[in-house]
Amino acid sequence: MGKINVDFAQCTGCRMCEIWCSLKKEGVVNPKKSRIRVTLIGLPEIPVPVTCQQCNSAPCARVCVSNAIERNETTGVLIVDKSLCTGCGDCVEACPFGAIFIHPVENIAVKCDLCGGEPECVKHCVRGFLICDCEAPKVEKPTINSTSNQKRVKFAQKISVKYKGEKKNP
């Protein structure tokens, strides 16, 4: 399961992500139909792109009474089934990130589905501040024993270099 990460400190708020998302998903340039939204927070205002974080606990899916939001078994991405969505907005209220919206015309929930693993917003982020870990390689965490062993080996190497050539006193 992936998600889109944002370098918030660098985002300029150009909104190209919104434009390309709406163009890909809706065939029109209309940020209100985009699955990623740039919001301005604080004073001075700081642009913050908001998109689905593909939560493990998925509060949006838990509150959906029509079971319209489900995790794709292959990709792990949360998907809204348009045919089941009633547009009640419970998922919008449940999302801790504010990343689900009610479509302005169709009156159904819309959210980022990572464009099948190749998000348009990431492709067209001119400065590269949006990053998708959609196909990030799975790295196994080292076990306590292997980490401990690695530390022992490094320590032994450091000590052997330090004392190499020195004679021990009897």
155: pLDDT strictly greater than 70? no
The winner for highest mean pLDDT among 49-53, 123-127, 150-154 is 49-53
Q: What is the pLDDT of residues 108-132, one digit of tens each?
A: 999 999 998 899 999 999 888 898 8
With the C-alpha atoms ordered 101, 51, 71, 119, is the resulting torsion angle positive or negative? positive
Q: What is the pLDDT of residues 21-39, one digit of tens each?
A: 999 999 999 999 999 999 9
CATH class of 4-138: alpha beta
Predicted local distance difference test score (pLDDT) of residue 20: 96
Q: How many Å apart are CA 132 and CA 117, to the nearest integer?
A: 8
Predicted local distance difference test score (pLDDT) of residue 140: 43
* Residue entry with tokens 């301005």: 40
Backbone angles phi, psi at 111, to 5 degrees: -155, 165
With the C-alpha atoms ordered 115, 7, 2, 55, is the resulting torsion angle positive or negative? negative
Where does 42-129 show beta strands of DSSP type E?
46-50, 69-71, 78-80, 101-102, 109-110
Helical (H) or strand (E) element with 39: strand 37-41
